[in-house]
């Protein structure tokens, strides 16, 4: 292998194996290509599993821990198992296509299948960026399409929201005062679940709460134990100070008086839970029990936030004000969520349209 000058054309070329690569304008360009070929030659001996774990290590250093752990699980449980002893340079487009078929026949949801497929393709992109892999054999793989049933379930999930009557019916059946105040706070602030769980008494004063942090779960990859940690809010726009309303303010003040009677109380305690914040398992259990007893439509914890957005806009609060309250980056994000959360807007629009048309027709008939 070497770099040579083409005296006839005044350019440089590289010879390797039985191949000649021509057309380099300078010797430096030809040398860079030669080095790339040499690195690729060494990389040819790398096994797919080693490259995949290299990608994971890169992800661990550049992403949130929860993102890394999610990827690490599917990488080990499904992707690497399909190529345990194959060199990445020997993987062909046909191998990738067969991988997709196997994934297609699995029992995973379409969302999970697409996530696995995405991470499989990421390994090759990582190899091309950091290991000089010449070509990506997975480039032609396409995403999976959701089934009609999945589309239907997703539409129901998106469109299920509560109005104040639904919530009032639900809250009657929450039998613990701490959880009662918790769900009222969740519904009437529109904050994220993790943001409410992270609130301490330091964050509450003069009828307002400071939302500057959130609770997130993580799994220690050494001990495999799951634990929670307090992290900054999702984005800088998520940091906000919002009013809770007079009635909820009084409820929170009464709750604090109760908590102050407990030994060791201090303002670093969580508003909901005391020394430790309320577990999500307990929140889910209380929510599901009250939903079942009250007979209201099922919603997730995040559904409280969607319901709040819909409620305020239906009451005439501007998109801009709602956006600030819920900590969205801009009103467009709020509007996007609202339009898929509210399923009654077409009926309201039709009523307005009918009234407008009725007035127009009446006026035209009067003139005639």
pLDDT of residue 2: 76
Q: What is the pLDDT of residues 166-225, one digit of tens each?
A: 999 999 999 999 999 999 999 999 999 999 999 999 999 999 999 999 988 764 544 445
pLDDT of residue 45: 65
pLDDT of residue 223: 43
What element of type H or E holds 145? none
Q: Is the predicted pLDDT of residue 358 greater than 90, yes or no?
A: no
Q: What is the pLDDT of residues 204-217, one digit of tens each?
A: 999 999 999 998 87
The architecture that CATH gives domain 168-294 is Orthogonal Bundle (1.10)
DSSP state of 326: H
> How does the average pLDDT of the chain come out, rounded?
84
Q: What is the pLDDT of residues 243-274, one digit of tens each?
A: 999 999 999 999 999 999 999 999 999 999 99
Domain boundaries, the chain: 2-43, 48-145, 168-294
Q: Is the predicted pLDDT of residue 312 greater than 70, yes or no?
A: yes
Q: Is the dihedral of CA 198, 203, 205, 210 positive or negative?
A: negative
Between these two residues, 56 and 347, which has the higher pLDDT value?
A: 56
Bridge partners of 200? 270
Same CATH fold assignment for domains 48-145 and 168-294: no
Alpha-carbon span 316 to 321, nearest angstrom: 10
Q: Is the predicted pLDDT of residue 142 greater than 70, yes or no?
A: yes
pLDDT band at 294 (very low <50, low <70, confident <90, very high): very high
Alpha-carbon span 144 to 108, nearest angstrom: 11
8 A C-beta contact, residue 178 and residue 196: no
pLDDT of residue 251: 94
Between these two residues, 6 and 151, which has the higher pLDDT value?
A: 6
Alpha-carbon span 197 to 284, nearest angstrom: 13
The topology under which CATH files domain 48-145 is DNA polymerase; domain 1 (1.10.150)
Q: What is the mean pLDDT of residues 54-79?
A: 87
Q: Is the predicted pLDDT of residue 37 greater than 90, yes or no?
A: no
pLDDT of residue 157: 58
Closest CA to 211 of 227, 229, 191: 191
pLDDT of residue 343: 44
pLDDT of residue 156: 57
**Highest-scoring range by mean pLDDT, 8-17, 45-54, 219-228, 338-347:** 45-54
Alpha-carbon span 355 to 318, nearest angstrom: 24
């Amino acid at each position: 292998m070497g770099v040579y000058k083409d005296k006839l054309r005044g350019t440089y070329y590289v010879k390797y194996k039985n191949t000649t690569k021509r057309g380099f304008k300078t010797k430096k360009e030809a040398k860079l290509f030669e080095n790339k070929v040499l690195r690729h030659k060494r990389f040819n001996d790398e096994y797919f599993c080693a490259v995949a774990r290299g990608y994971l290590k890169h992800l661990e250093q550049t992403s949130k821990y929860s993102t890394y752990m999610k990827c690490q699980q599917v990488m080990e449980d499904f992707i690497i198992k399909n190529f345990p002893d194959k060199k990445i340079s020997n993987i062909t487009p046909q191998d990738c296509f067969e991988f997709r078929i196997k994934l297609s026949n699995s029992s995973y949801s379409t969302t999970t299948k697409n996530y696995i497929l995405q991470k499989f393709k990421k390994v090759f992109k990582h190899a091309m960026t950091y290991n000089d892999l010449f070509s990506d054999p997975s480039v032609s793989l396409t995403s999976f399409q959701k089934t009609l049933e999945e589309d239907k379930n997703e539409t129901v999930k998106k469109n299920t929201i509560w109005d104040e009557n639904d919530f009032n019916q639900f809250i009657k059946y929450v039998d613990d005062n701490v959880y009662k105040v918790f769900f009222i706070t969740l519904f009437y602030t529109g904050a994220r679940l993790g943001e409410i769980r992270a609130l301490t008494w330091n964050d509450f004063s003069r009828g307002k709460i400071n939302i500057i942090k959130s609770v997130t779960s993580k799994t220690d990859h050494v001990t495999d134990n799951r634990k929670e940690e307090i992290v900054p809010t999702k984005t800088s726009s998520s940091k906000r100070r919002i009013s809770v309303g007079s009635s909820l303010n009084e409820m929170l003040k009464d709750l604090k008086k109760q908590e102050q009677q407990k030994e060791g109380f201090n303002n670093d305690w969580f508003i909901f839970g005391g020394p430790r914040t309320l577990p999500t398992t307990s929140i889910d259990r209380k929510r599901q029990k009250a939903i079942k007893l009250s007979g209201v439509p099922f919603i997730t914890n995040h559904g409280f936030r969607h319901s709040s957005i819909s409620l305020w806009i239906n009451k005439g609060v501007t998109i801009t004000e709602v956006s600030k309250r819920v900590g969205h980056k801009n009103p467009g994000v709020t509007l996007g969520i609202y339009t898929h959360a509210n399923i009654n807007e077409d009926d309201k629009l039709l009523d307005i349209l009918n009234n407008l048309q009725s007035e127009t027709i009446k006026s035209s008939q009067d003139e005639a």
